[in-house]
Amino acid sequence: MTVTSVDKDYDKLSLTLVADFPAPSDAVWELWADPRQLERWWGPPTYPATMERHEFTTGGTVAYYMTGPDGEKFHGLWELTEVSPKTGIDLIDRFADANGEPDPGMPVTTTRMRLTGTAEGTRMELSSHFESRADLDRVVEMGMEEGLTQAVGQMDALLASTPVR
Amino acid sequence: MTLALPSGPGVTCNQMVVDRVSEDDVDRMLHALADATRRDIVRRSVSGELSVSRLADGYAMSFAAVQKHVAVLARAGLVSKVRRGRESLVVADPDALARARGALDALENEWRGRVDRMAGLLADISTTGETTPTKGQDE
What pTM was computed for the model?
A: 0.59
CB A46 within 8 A of CB B9: yes
Q: Which CATH superfamily is domain A3-155 in?
A: START domain (3.30.530.20)
Predicted pLDDT of residue B118: 95
Q: What is the pLDDT of residue B10?
A: 32
Tell which residue, A111, A114, A80, A37, has the closest CA to residue B119: A37
Residue A83 has a pLDDT of 97
Spatial contact of A144 and A152, defined as CB atoms under 8 Å apart: no
pLDDT tens per residue, range B34-88:
778 887 887 788 655 788 888 999 899 999 999 999 998 887 777 888 887 877 7
Work out the average pLDDT over B110-132. Answer: 83
Is the pLDDT at B3 greater than 50? The verdict is no
Over the stretch A6-41, which tens digit does the pLDDT of each residue have? 888 766 778 899 999 999 999 999 999 999 999 999
* Set of chain B residues whose Cβ sits within 8 Å of the Cβ of A95: 1, 13-14
Q: Which residue of A has its CA nearest to B17?
A: A44
In this predicted structure, the answer to whether residue A124 has a pLDDT above a threshold of 80 is: yes
ipTM of the complex: 0.76
> Could you give all domains of chain B from N- to C-terminal order, each with its CATH number?
21-96 (1.10.10.10)
Residues of B in contact with A41 (CB under 8 A): 114, 117-118, 120-121
CB B95, CB B57: distance < 8 Å: no
* Cβ-based neighbour number of residue A75 at 10 Å: 22
CB contact under 8 A, B92 and A13: no
User: Per the CB < 8 Å rule, is B2 touching A109?
Assistant: yes
Nearest in space to A95 (alpha carbons), one of A60, A131, A69:
A131
